[in-house]
Structure 1
Amino acid sequence: MRWQNLWLLLCCVGLPAAADTVWLKNGDRLTGDIVLLDGGKLALKTKYAGRVLIDWKDIATLNSSKPLLVKQSGFEQESSRQLQAADNGKVKVINGDSREVALSDIQQLIPPRPLLEDLVWEGNADLDLDMDRDDNNTNNFSVSGDSRVRHGLWRHVLDGEYEREKENGEETESNWQAEYDLDRFFTQQWFVRGSVSELRDDFGDIERQSLYGLGPGYQFWDNELGRFDLIGQLGRGKVRSSKGDIEFDAYSGEWDYKRVFWGSRMEFFSTAQIVMPTEGQIDYVFDGEAGLRYRLNEWARLSLLYELDQVGGSRESGSEEHYTLGMGVAW
């Protein structure tokens, strides 16, 4: 073993257990907290420079005292209790036994989120202001947000949106909608969701809409790379409009998808819900969105959002699309 590699191992032993350490091929050393490795970029959260992105090919070796999911080329993966520094271009994976793995064979490093996590809280809030100065001076203001709190076997999900529009000083649109979901997990993947949602519109044909639902959900993954949930529900809805009130039973399905790229600097997200009443003249109501968020710093995001709302039925059908660019915060 080379003397410099022996020095790396001795430094590793002397480091505090809470710090992750990365040695670069040019001799530099960085300490912090490994967020994840994905797409050839290692995201390291440091006290002195915030979150930094390091090219994986520039790393000589590293060590981490926390558990990590190590995904290698192909479908091979394993959970490590810790990583220890090794020869240049390698790392020791410790999990009962010890074995050296070439850094070039490692595709992802992901801190796992166990089922009995004490508390995980995350969320986003986006603000958009659109001003058109033509024959009709139009100001459109909208704010949306979502928050997820995971505690043990329970997860709380809250999201909402408020939109207001003025044309030539006259208010032409004002609406808000909110939804609260409560999930109870039985395994790492399976859970049951209860939902309640409310929509109010001061200028639309539908003045108020309420929907309650209950049904199973399946979580494909939920970690530092993102999440993917599918949920099916049987619900009860009520619509109040200028034409009268309607109550109905309905089936619904929804997805919630998020995936980060480029060392967590870029995020793609998509959520959607389709509601199918069991009776009446409406076949389905679809509400979906997809977008990108770019991380400006630890809390600020630049967001690009596409929204699609569709109604299909024997007598009534229609579709609306919206594109928005705005700023937001995340935690």
Structure 2
Amino acid sequence: MRFSRVLPFALLWCAPFANADTVWLKNGDRLTGTIKLLDSKKLLLQTEYGGDMPLAWDKIKTLQRDTPILIQRGAHEQNVEAQSLKPGDDGYVVMQTQEGARTLALASITQIVSPKPFLRDLSWKGNVDVGLDYINASSADTEDYNIDFKTQARHGLWRHNATGSYNRYESDDSVSTHNYSLEYALDRFFNEKLFWQGRLEYTRDWVEELSSQRVIGTGPGYQFWDNELGAFSMTGLINQNRFEFTDGGSAEFLSANLKWDYSRNLYGQTVQFFTTGEIGRPFDGIADLTFDGEVGVRYKITNWASLNLKASQAYIGGAPGDANKTEYTAGFGITW
């Protein structure tokens, strides 16, 4: 009687671990969790007891996974979807595919990525980067603030994207930089790669001659990839732009723009390289070229905290209020 009462609770407690992946190390240890990726000779294992654990690939004896995963052998080979991975001899694993079972040497595997389903439940990711600097000295008082955020939520065929930034630099009561920008974009996917985007953007500047920019745009986009290794998408937009200047003047024009968003995780997601931006060409000649982009690196110090270093540039050529502004920032970030 007691056993029949205890058994359901025991099964319930064991359920979350029923499909856990297993990694055997050459030193005899065995670890359980979820295999997220293999890249740069680091296997990233997500565990409940230690968070994300990067493991040296050459220290692994064999491994097991009962759910599908993508395997790559060689830098120029196509990914192969394995239905499961079974433990093999020391330094080997048995890959089960639709064509049958194959024994692979672990040394021949260069990349492992968990597949993401095209239609999936709500997923949410993002980051906030903060850089603050205040110097009070006899020669000068300096205040430097930089806050950036980027968040993305997806549910089924829809993806919501929001970004924003605030920048201010003051030295001895003289403000040389003071601006903010906000952008919202909505993507509607037609298949795993192709989507259509509509977006709104507003920028306000209290220092430059170009005091505000408003952009409304729409156009097709293509998602090259989006997985544990990073993401890369490009979007072609037709934008309706409105510029307002400090002297009270304004200008409206249409432009064709190309927008990109690229990130790449390295060394078991410890380091991330990223770049985002947009380049445009106005139709009516009010400006020769517009460019707004950034490039940077994040270094993860915990599962959620990181250090970051970024460089950004905004350029508008051939229009009243020409702008060519470059900023460098370093700070602390939170990622989810």
Alignment TM-score, normalising by the size of structure 1? 0.91
Measure, in 1, the Cα distance between the counterparts of 2:207 and 2:319.
24
Which residue of structure 2 lines up, in the alignment, with residue 218 of structure 1? 222
Measure, in 1, the Cα distance between the counterparts of 2:38 and 2:202.
40
1:1-331 equivalence runs, <5 A:
16-73=17-74, 74-96=76-98, 97-132=100-135, 133=137, 135-169=139-173, 173-243=177-247, 244-313=249-318, 317-331=322-336
Residues 75-122 of structure 1, C-alpha deviations (whole Å, 9 max, x = no match): 142112221111111111123332221111111110111210212211
Shift of 1:237: 1.0
Contact residue 17 and residue 65 of structure 1 kept, 8 A: no
Shift of 1:169: 4.1
Measure, in 2, the Cα distance between the counterparts of 1:61 and 1:149.
36
Shift of 1:175: 1.6
Shift of 1:316: 6.0
Measure, in 2, the Cα distance between the counterparts of 1:204 and 1:100.
63
AA matched with 1:217: G
Shift of 1:202: 2.4
Measure, in 2, the Cα distance between the counterparts of 1:191 and 1:117.
16
Measure, in 2, the Cα distance between the counterparts of 1:315 and 1:162.
24
Unaligned runs of 5+ in 2: 1-15
Alignment TM-score, normalising by the size of structure 2? 0.89
Q: Does the C-alpha gap of structure 1 residues 251 and 19 become closer, same or farther in structure 2, counting only changes over 3 Å?
A: same
Which residue of structure 1 lines up, in the alignment, with residue 11 of structure 2? none
Residues 129-151 of structure 1, C-alpha deviations (whole Å, 9 max, x = no match): 13355744220111001001111
Give the aligned length: 318
CA RMSD of aligned residues (A): 1.9
Unaligned runs of 5+ in 1: 1-14
**Matched-pair identity in %:** 39
AA matched with 1:185: F
Which residue of structure 2 lines up, in the alignment, with residue 12 of structure 1? none
Measure, in 2, the Cα distance between the counterparts of 1:236 and 1:317.
19
Contact residue 209 and residue 321 of structure 2 kept, 8 A: no
Shift of 1:275: 2.3
